[in-house]
């Protein structure tokens, strides 16, 4: 496999609200953002857009995607919670796609769902409130079920 050409910073950024920027200007074409999202990778030293021949660093504030909606199918431990992201990825929470919480620098916890290959979607406030409505109490504390997996909520979430 040939070694990838690592490009320098070209001014790509994903803001905390999921907006993609190039040289400080929002990228307004959703099809272009969706295309970029398909080649986004998380590596030990940061995020990159990776093509067969080159790798471009991209600054990411928080998580790269936002979960903008949630659908529920069923009830109890076997219910299926499916999230749709701002780039139209659909992911069903379960053993392969965990729901978790990340400590925020300013305090508190930010909820997310694993999307693919180490990439996550932070839950929008509306989706988080919808998820919180499904919280049940177990021996592990409060949390939610999806596809037979239990995802505990931190006490300070």
Does the residue 79 lie in any domain? Answer: yes
54 shares its domain with 117: no
Residue range 25-47, pLDDT digits in tens? 999 999 999 999 999 999 999 99
Are 149 and 91 in contact by the 8 Å Cβ rule? The answer is no
56 shares its domain with 107: no
69 shares its domain with 144: yes
CATH of residue 129: 2.30.270.10
Residues paired with residue 5 on neighbouring β-strands, in sequence order: 54
**Phi/psi at 39 (5° precision):** -110, 10
| Tokens encoding 21 | 């920027």
78 shares its domain with 143: yes
148 shares its domain with 93: yes
pLDDT band at 155 (very low <50, low <70, confident <90, very high): confident
147 shares its domain with 101: yes
pTM of the entire predicted model = 0.90
* Residue 2 predicted with pLDDT over 70: no
Does the residue 157 lie in any domain? Answer: no
Residue range 47-75, pLDDT digits in tens? 999 988 899 999 999 999 999 999 999 99
**Structural domain span for residue 49:** 5-60
Query: How many domains does the structure of the chain reveal?
Result: 2
70 shares its domain with 121: yes
pLDDT score at 142: 94
Does the residue 22 lie in any domain? Answer: yes
Hey, is 54 helix, strand or coil? strand
The alpha-carbon radius of gyration of the chain (Å, integer) is 17
* Residue reference for tokens 């177990």: 138
pLDDT score at 5: 74
Are 134 and 144 in contact by the 8 Å Cβ rule? The answer is yes
pLDDT band at 156 (very low <50, low <70, confident <90, very high): low
21 shares its domain with 92: no
69 shares its domain with 116: yes
């Amino acid at each position: 496999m040939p070694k990838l050409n690592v490009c320098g910073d070209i001014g790509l950024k994903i803001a905390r609200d999921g907006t993609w920027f190039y040289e400080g200007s929002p990228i307004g074409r959703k099809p272009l953002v969706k295309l970029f999202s398909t080649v986004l990778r998380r590596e030990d030293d940061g995020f990159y857009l990776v093509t067969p021949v080159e790798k471009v660093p991209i600054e990411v504030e928080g998580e790269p995607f936002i979960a903008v909606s949630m659908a529920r199918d069923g009830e109890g431990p076997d219910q299926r919670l499916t999230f749709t992201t701002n780039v139209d990825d659909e992911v069903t929470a379960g053993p392969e796609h965990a729901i978790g919480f990340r400590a925020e620098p300013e305090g508190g916890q930010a909820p997310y769902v694993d999307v693919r290959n180490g990439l996550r979607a932070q839950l929008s406030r509306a989706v988080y409130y919808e998820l919180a409505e499904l919280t049940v109490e177990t021996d592990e504390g409060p949390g939610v079920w999806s596809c037979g997996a239990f995802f505990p909520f931190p006490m300070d979430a």
